[in-house]
Amino acid sequence: MTRIAIVTGSVRPGRQSLDVARWVRSLAERRTDATFEIVDIADFTLPVWDDVAPPAMAPSSTPHGQAWSRAMDQYDGYVFVVSEYNHSITGALKNALDYLYLELSDKAAGFVSYGSAGGVRAVEHLRGILSEMRVAHVRNAVTLPLSTDFENYTTFTPTESSTASVEPMLDQLVAWATALESVRQPAVVTV
């Protein structure tokens, strides 16, 4: 069965990404065409990437990089929970992605974003990064403006329209993740 990771995009105290990821998983678990698991980048305590060679050329030489690689390699697709900071993705998410290449290549990604403009500017930046990593990102995305989907800009309270936008994104994501299985090669991760 197709396996999808719901990846948090923030590690800071008081972050909303884990709550948003849990919400996405609660909606996704109603489906029967894929399994969904949360991958919290905060669980990996990744230092700023400083490996000897770029991930496109060689697997990570560090234990933390190898653990992160193994965790991400096992999925067929990803829902990135993207919080917008300074019109872009968080440094934590960018750093986590810098550890990877083959683990994500020829896989699919969808987006659930939040911020003052629903996180759309951050998703546009993330699309460029993922394109370089050979990730097929789907058109439909879920955008959660702070003014409508967060009570007092702090408590996640998704609207009906936001909730309704999750299923079409997942439809596209699962279809693409499944279609790309035939072209994918497993990443080589040292132990």
Write out the DSSP string of the chain. Answer: -EEEEEE----STT-SHHHHHHHHHHHHTT-SSEEEEEE-GGGG-PPSP--SS-TTTS---SHHHHHHHHHHHT-SEEEEEEE-BTTB--HHHHHHHHT-STTTTT-EEEEEEEETTTTHHHHHHHHHHHHHTT-EEEEEEEEEEHHHHEETTTEE---HHHHHTHHHHHHHHHHHHHHGGGG--------
CATH number at residue 65: 3.40.50.360
pTM, two decimal places? 0.95
- Please report whether residue 142 resides in a domain: yes
- 77-119 pLDDT, tens digit each: 999 999 999 999 999 999 999 999 999 999 999 999 999 999 9
- Residue 94's domain comprises 2-183
- Please report whether residue 120 resides in a domain: yes
- Please report whether residue 24 resides in a domain: yes
Mean pLDDT value across the chain = 95
Give the count of domains, the chain: 1
- Please report whether residue 19 resides in a domain: yes
- Please report whether residue 91 resides in a domain: yes
- Please report whether residue 190 resides in a domain: no
- Please report whether residue 189 resides in a domain: no
- Please report whether residue 21 resides in a domain: yes
Confidence of residue 155 (pLDDT cuts 50, 70, 90): very high
